[in-house]
Amino acid sequence: MWKALGKRKRGPGKSWKWAAAAFGALFFIACCQNLRAGGSLPGIRRIGEYLREEVAARAWENCMMAMVGGGRDAPDLEEYVLGKIEEAFPIYAFYGTQPEYDTQIESRFTDEMIAENELESRKGGNEAGSGSGEEADGRGTGGGETEEADGQGTGGRETEEADGQGTGKTEGKGSQGTGKTEEKDSRGTGKTEEGGQGTGKTEGEGGQGAGGTEGEGGQEARRKALLGKLSDFDYLIQNFYQVDRTTTIDSSQLNAEAMLAKDMKLEGGPENVQILIYHTHSQEGYADSVPGDANTSVVAVGERLAALLRDTYGFHVMHHTGEYDVADRDNAYSYAGPALERILAENPSIEVVIDLHRDGVADTTRLVTEVNGKQTAQIMFFNGLSRTTSNGDIAYLANPNLESNLAFSFQMKLAAEEAYPGFARANYLKGYRYNLHYRPKSLLVEVGAQTNTLEEAMNAMEPLADLLHRVLSP
User: Which of 58-62, 154-158, 272-276 is least confident?
Assistant: 154-158
Residue 224 confidence class, pLDDT cut points 50, 70, 90: confident
pLDDT at 80 over 50: yes
The per-residue pLDDT for 329 is 85
Q: Is it the case that residue 267 has pLDDT exceeding 70?
A: yes
Are 192 and 76 part of one and the same domain?
A: no
Among positive and negative, which fits the CA dihedral 393, 395, 400, 406?
Answer: negative
What is the span of the domain harbouring residue 226? 164-230
pLDDT per residue as tens digits for the range 350-399: 999 999 999 999 999 999 999 999 999 999 999 999 999 988 999 988 99
Question: Per-residue pLDDT tens for 68-78?
Answer: 444 445 556 65
Q: Residue 26 has what pLDDT?
A: 75
> How many structural domains are present in the chain?
3
Tell me which of 211 and 27 has the higher pLDDT: 27
* Parallel, antiparallel or unpaired: strands 374-377 and 368-371: antiparallel
Report the alpha-carbon distance of residue 101 to residue 397 in Å, rounded. Answer: 24
Same domain, 251 and 225: no
Q: How confident is the model at residue 199 (pLDDT cuts 50, 70, 90)?
A: very low
CATH code at 299? Answer: 3.40.630.40
Q: Is 423 found in the same domain as 329?
A: yes
What gap in Å lies between CA 419 and CA 371, rounded to an integer?
A: 10
- CA angle in degrees (0–180, nearest 5) for 190-413-111: 125
- Determine contact, residues 374/363, Cβ cutoff 8 Å: no
Same domain, 208 and 263: no
Q: Specify whether the CB–CB gap between 148 and 107 falls below 8 A.
A: no
Give the separation between CA 52 and CA 114, rounded to whole angstroms.
18
Please tell me whether residues 404 and 454 are part of one structural domain: yes
* pLDDT reported for residue 62: 56
Distance (Å) of CA 456 to CA 65, 446, 453: 48, 13, 5
Count the Cβ atoms, other than its own, within 10 Å of residue 80.
11
Do both 221 and 277 map to the same domain? Answer: no
Would you list the DSSP string of 272-312? S--EEEE-TTTT-B-TTPPTT-GGGBHHHHHHHHHHHHHHT
Average pLDDT over residues 420-429: 97
pLDDT, tens digit, 9 for 90 and up, residues 295-353: 999 999 999 999 999 999 999 999 999 999 998 888 899 999 999 999 999 999 999 99
Residue 466 domain-assigned (yes or no) = yes
Q: Where are the alpha helices (DSSP H) in 280-401?
A: 298-311, 332-346
Dist CA 114 CA 156 (whole Å):
12
Whether residues 196 and 177 share a domain: the answer is yes
pLDDT at 121: 53
Of 95-99, 363-367, 423-427, which gets the smallest average pLDDT? 95-99
**In terms of domains, do 184 and 317 share one?**
no
pTM for this model (two decimals): 0.60
Q: What is the band of 183 on the pLDDT scale with cuts at 50, 70, 90? A: very low
Instruction: Supply the mean pLDDT for the chain.
Output: 73
pLDDT in tens, 225-264: 777 899 999 999 999 999 998 899 999 999 999 999 999 9
Q: With respect to residue 217, please indicate whether it lies within any of the assigned structural domains.
A: yes
- Residue type for 257, please? E
